[in-house]
Amino acid sequence: MAEAQVVITQRGAERLFAGHLWVYRSDIRSAEASPGDAVRVCDERSRFLGRAFYSDSSQIAIRLITREDVPIDRDFLAARIRAAAAFRNRVVENTQVCRLVYGEADQLPSLIVDRYADCLAIQTLSQATERRKIEIAEILQEIFSPRGIVERNDPKVRLLEGLTQKVSLLAGEVPPEVIAEENGVRFHFDLFKGQKTGGFLDQRENRRAAATYASGEVLDCFTYNGGFALTMASRCQQVEAIDLSPAAVEAGRRNQALNQIANVSFREANAFDVLKNYDEQGRRFDMVLLDPPAFAKNRASVPAARRGYKEINLRALKLLRPGGYLVTCSCSHHIPEHLFLEILAEAANDARRQSVVVDRRTQARDHPILLTVPETHYLKCLIVRAL
């Protein structure tokens, strides 16, 4: 049988020349390939452009893996996974939890591998990585000898690939809760049911950075399992941590007990209401943290997202004592940093609080940003001091 091959348009080829890894369905001329094949990619003059994962369903039809003419086999995948892990050995510190493979940025498009102590959680988010799931699990077992591997394949993007949403144990054993330490704090992680693959690994370095500015009374508005709140508690007098989700608040309380931390109080509440009420009551804090879910999931929702970010940031700034800190995040890829800064400037101005940005941060280094794929840059974390 002839090798699987996809011919792309000139516009598609230009996208690859510009460094992007994705070619959309509208730029596919012809495809002699099955779902999930690692295909040869050529232009209309039969020039070889690289090898890519092919999807027959998603708008992202092609995800480039390499520009070289080499087989995409088990050894190839193992070498890429080893390279990704070697980089983590260099940059990841103070934690038993980290992202080992971050998809496109590790040249392993649509594959996520997260480590939680001796267990792994993986996501295979395209037809190609789904098809190689067992092989990938075997490679991970060879390299990392984990206690077990969970597939956290419940993200909605799987539906665009014609794949189902599912969570299951792929190998070994994974307890309902894994206890792992990050920045000196222990957390319970539920790899089967927790948000994302169990936790928000991308905020590790920001939690540590935020803690260096923390003191007095702190309000952590979207706390999830208490990540920011518990990391900074020892430097503070009192931390109030809120989340809309009962399961999150419950997890936060259990992590608090696990670490025997007394000065954090968790409660279930809507951050928009709490900020508004505290503003009206004239409550004051030394630090407010805002780490909401992505308000802009796509381009169309940017204007509404902008209003949402402005509202919470404006209120949070008003709650700060002179010299207090706002730690504010946005994980919407569609709100780039310059826009986020603009929203904050408007918020500060409307709040009549002159404010300075003291630290401009992003996702932790185990989630590197591939320069030519802007989609890999999503998290902004700004530490702002209200004068």
Q: Which residue's C-beta sits nearest to ligand SAH?
A: 227
Please report whether residue 96 would count as binding ligand SAH according to CB under 6 A.
no
Q: Which of 42, 119, 331, 381 is catalytic?
A: 331
Q: Give the number of residues in contact with ligand SAH, rule: CB under 6 A.
A: 19
Among 38, 120, 248, 351, contact with ligand SAH (rule: CB under 6 A): 248
Start-to-end CA distance of the chain, whole Å, equals 70
CA atoms within 13 A on the CB side of 207: 23
294 binds ligand SAH per the rule CB under 6 A: no
Contact 218, 232 (CB under 8 A): yes
Q: In the chain, where do the E strands start and end?
A: 5-8, 22-24, 28-32, 38-42, 48-54, 60-66, 97-102, 111-116, 119-124, 148-153, 166-172, 178-182, 185-189, 217-220, 238-243, 264-268, 285-290, 320-330, 355-362, 380-386
Q: Which stretch binds ligand SAH (CB under 6 A): 67-75, 107-115, 243-251, 344-352?
A: 243-251
Q: How far is the CB of 123 from ligand SAH (least distance, A)?
A: 17
Residue closer to ligand SAH, measured from CB, 53 or 200:
200
For ligand SAH, the binding residues in 317-356 under the rule CB under 6 A are none
Q: Which is nearer to ligand SAH, 228 or 285 (CB)?
A: 228
Separation of alpha carbons 253 and 259, rounded Å: 10
Figure out which of the listed residues 212, 270, 277, 298 binds ligand SAH, where binding follows CB under 6 A: 270
Q: Please identify, among the stretches 92-100, 118-126, 288-296, 344-352, the one whose residues bind ligand SAH according to the rule CB under 6 A.
A: 288-296
**Any bridge partners for residue 119, and if so which?**
116, 148
Complex with ligand SAH: residue 42 or 383, whichever CB lies closer: 383
Tokens of 327: 């730690």
Specify whether the CB–CB gap between 41 and 62 falls below 8 A: yes
- Name the 3-class secondary structure at 296: coil
Between the CA of residue 217 and those of 229, 234, 238, what are the distances in Å? Answer: 11, 12, 5
Binding mask 176-205 for ligand SAH (x = CB under 6 A): -------------------x----x--x--
Q: Nearest distance from residue 86's CB to ligand SAH, in Å?
A: 27
Nearer to ligand SAH, 52 or 312 (CB): 312
For every residue of 166-182, DSSP letters joined together read EEEEEEE---S-EEEEE
Q: Which of residues 21 and 271 has its CB atom nearest to ligand SAH in the complex?
A: 271
Rounded to a whole number of angstroms, the minimum distance from the CB of residue 60 to ligand SAH is 26
Query: Contact 117/146 with Cβ under 8 angstroms?
Result: no
Shortest reach from residue 363's CB to ligand SAH, in Å:
12
Decide whether 128 or 327 has the Cβ nearer to ligand SAH.
327
d(CA 290, CA 206): 12
d(CA 221, CA 231): 15
For residue 100 the two structure tokens come to 């080992």
The answer to whether residue 119 is catalytic is no
Q: Given the complex with ligand SAH, which of 40 and 208 has the nearer CB atom?
A: 208
Tell me: does residue 223 bind ligand SAH (CB under 6 A): yes
Catalytic residues: 331
Residues near ligand SAH, by CB under 6 A: 195, 200, 203, 222-224, 227-228, 242-245, 248, 270-272, 291-293
